[in-house]
A and B are shown apart, each in its own frame.
Chain A
């Protein structure tokens, strides 16, 4: 019996590790390839000599990106939008999600339907623009932060996570004399590390990648860096260029790769920092403590 268990356990472990290794390779290779491309000379790339290791090592591509006017300024803008946007967003969503997670609260069902309904009907580009414009937010940084401060999908995730927290904790807190704001801050939030990390990550990535709101609402000095970077990567390959003048300009793949690395690395390293919230047993500690 004991023997069998160990064997099956080992087999299972082997299987898991194999799957993980495969997905690791599948996901990592393109990145390594692009890093290699971004550090290689155009000559080596055109002649198909680059695979996972740079050839004709040079930093020209990165130099060229960094010399784009206002590159660092735009990068700073993006950092601001990401932090401020995530903070506002998480704040609003937590305030909304906690009451909505109480299915017995009067009006909760109506509010949930209101949220879901708004996922499917939007007004379209022009009405949204006119709204932001009439609130006098155009050409202010708020235009980047407010229109998408609550994402219904993330909100529903958060509600769902709050629901899974056992009610006994709350009841105990009420007996201890805590009010609902106190419960939210002292009990619910500390227990929702993984949930907040997930929703926070999703939100941060949204603000990090959002270029469209920047484009339509802001002045060019307030543009997020993604607007420029996206343009380098997609500017010439998107369809629909009327006269076809876009066909004339080609941007070296080394520069495109460098752009992708520059624009994704900072947000990718965010996850490892959040990973500590994904540790089992947080809940147990809380209940026992």
Chain B
């Protein structure tokens, strides 16, 4: 038996199957699962082109063409939300994509084993505090009347209090920092697992060659986890249009709405006034198409640059 490689391209299908039927057998169950649970419900997307009337069937009542797409394409609020989503997402990606990688590498360098374990465990804890509570604690810290930050500004620096949570200029910064705090340790687990797989003898050889720590990190650790980094990057780019909806919703105020209104919050408010499934489906479909384009683009870019992609 041989593993599947280029030489197999020439052999007949029958022989091929005889050799690899077990691999295909493995696929059967999960594939069936995929078709049933992921692909069958996709039929629901017809609602983007059909009018949904509550209580009159799940698939809508009549074809309306691109009515719902036109509605949001012509809506200035949608484009503002679209822009806000992209800007916030990109900034978030630029800041919060590298941080977990750096964090994982540094955790890996901690010599004291017990301390290392404690740091790992503790750093992923913020992931478990519900967003509502995170925002409440944040509101407490940043409160213009009683928050520590403003008390410091007023009492020590003699400055005026700033109502951070209600200010256009601070919204993005706060959102991104909260994300850093919540997800750094959580995401770093993936990179830590990847680092675990690096053969130890590479480092041993490097040490013998006289490479110092930063050289080891630069020439061994990072290249070794590069495939993981690329996969994560591609997946993250694909998710540019989906942000932490609940967090934005909780941080949304009329005052910061010019920057905090994202696609999801807009759909939420539109839907709240009038349970408009068709409109929401149309926007979902639009976001999905953008996501696919982004993934395909970044994947082929990654393949060209590093030779690796997710497919």
Query: Using Cβ atoms and an 8 Å threshold, which residues of chain A touch B122?
Result: 23-24, 27-28
Interface 1/0 per residue, B100-120 and A, CB below 8 Å: 000100110111000101111
Name A92's contact: one of B2, B29, B201, B310 (CB within 8 Å): B29
Contact B129 A95 (CB under 8 A): no
Any A CB within 8 A of the CB of B23: yes
A280 touches B280 (CB 8 A): no
Say which residue of A9, A112, A164, A278 sits within 8 Å of B213 (CB atoms).
A9
Contacts of B63 in A (CB 8 A): none
B62 within 8 A of A: no
Determine, out of B30-38, B70-78, B84-92, the stretch whose residues face the partner at the interface: B30-38
Interface positions of A from 172 to 202, Cβ below 8 Å from B: 174, 179-181, 184, 193-195, 197-198, 201
Contact A23–B119 (Cβ < 8 Å)? yes
| B158 at interface, CB cutoff 8 A | no
Query: Counting CB contacts under 8 A, is B254 at the interface?
Result: no
Docked complex Cα distance between A31 and B130 (Å): 12
Q: Measured between C-beta atoms, what is the minimum distance from B129 to chain A in Å?
A: 6
Report the stretch among A54-62, A74-82, A260-268 that lies at the interface.
Answer: A260-268
Write out the residue numbers on chain B whose beta carbons fall within 8 Å of the beta carbon of A201. Answer: 189
Q: From residue 106 to 157 of chain B, which have CB atoms closer than 8 A to chain A?
A: 106-107, 109-111, 115, 117-130, 132-133, 136-137, 146
Residues of B within 8 A of A109 (CB): 311
Would A180 and B26 count as touching, CB distance under 8 A? yes
Tell me, rounded to whole Å, the shortest Cβ–Cβ distance linking B105 to chain A. Answer: 9
Tell me, in angstroms, the Cα distance from A233 to B287 when the chains sit together: 31
Q: A275 CA to B185 CA in the complex, in Å?
A: 14
Contacts of A124 in B (CB 8 A): 41, 44-45, 47, 277, 280-281, 284
Q: Which of A24, A34, A193 contacts B119 (CB 8 A)?
A: A24
Determine whether the beta carbon of B30 is less than 8 Å from that of A93: yes
Q: How far is the CA of A163 from the CA of B228 in the complex (A)?
A: 10
Q: Give the Cβ gap from A174 to chain B, nearest Cβ, in Å.
A: 5
For B189-209 the 0/1 string (1 means CB < 8 A from A) is 110111111111100000000
Across-interface contacts of A128 in B (CB, < 8 A): 41, 44
List, in ascending order, chain A residues with CB within 8 A of B20's CB.
105, 180
Determine the chain B residues whose CB is within 8 A of the CB of A104 once the complex forms. Answer: 3-6, 8
B-contact bits for A99-138, CB 8 A (1 contact / 0 none): 1101011100101111111111111101110110001000
Tally chain A residues at the interface, Cβ within 8 Å: 102
Main secondary structure on A side of the interface with B: helix
- Choose among B125, B128, B310 the residue that contacts A160 (Cβ–Cβ < 8 A): B310
**Is B133 within 8 A of A8, CB to CB?**
no
Number of interface residues of B (CB under 8 A): 95
> What residues of chain A lie closer than 8 Å to B103, measured between beta carbons?
19, 23
Q: How near does chain B come to A122, taking the closest CB pair, in angstroms? A: 7
Distance A128 CA – B198 CA, assembled complex (angstroms): 41
Q: Which of B225-281 contact A (CB under 8 A)?
A: 227-228, 231, 235, 238, 249, 272, 277, 280-281
Smallest beta-carbon distance A172→chain B, Å: 11
Expressed in whole angstroms, the Cα–Cα distance for A117 and B231 within the complex equals 15
User: Contact mask A156-178 → B, CB, 8 Å, 1/0?
Assistant: 11011101110100110010000
How many angstroms from the CA of A98 to the CA of B26 in the assembled complex? 8
Let me know if A122 and B42 touch, CB within 8 A: yes
Q: Judge whether A28 and B125 touch: CB under 8 Å.
A: yes
Query: Which A residues touch B128, using CB under 8 A?
Result: 205, 260, 264, 267-268
A283 sits at the interface (CB 8 A): yes
Contacts of A69 in B (CB 8 A): none
Question: Could you say which residues of chain B place their CB within 8 Å of the CB of A26?
Answer: 181
Given that A174-B2, A230-B130, A264-B128 are contacting pairs, would A123 and B42 also be in contact in the complex, using a CB cutoff of 8 Å? yes
* B274-295 residues at the A interface, CB under 8 angstroms: 277, 280-281, 284-285, 287-289, 291-292, 295
Report B-chain residues with C-beta under 8 Å of the C-beta of A20. 106-107, 110, 115, 119
Q: Is A5 an interface residue (CB 8 A)?
A: yes
Q: A127-B43, A271-B120 are in contact. Are A157 and B106 (CB under 8 A)?
A: no
| The 5 nearest A-B residue pairs measured at CB | A123-B41, A127-B44, A123-B44, A112-B311, A96-B30
Q: List 29 A-B contacts (CB under 8 A).
A: A23-B185, A24-B119, A27-B123, A27-B181, A92-B30, A93-B30, A104-B4, A106-B16, A114-B34, A120-B238, A123-B45, A124-B281, A124-B284, A126-B58, A156-B310, A157-B231, A160-B310, A161-B197, A194-B192, A194-B193, A195-B193, A195-B197, A238-B132, A264-B128, A271-B120, A271-B124, A275-B121, A280-B195, A280-B198
Interface residues of B (CB under 8 A from A): 1-6, 8, 16, 20, 22-24, 26-27, 29-31, 33-34, 36-45, 47, 58, 103, 106-107, 109-111, 115, 117-130, 132-133, 136-137, 146, 181, 184-185, 189-190, 192-201, 212-214, 227-228, 231, 235, 238, 249, 272, 277, 280-281, 284-285, 287-289, 291-292, 295, 310-311
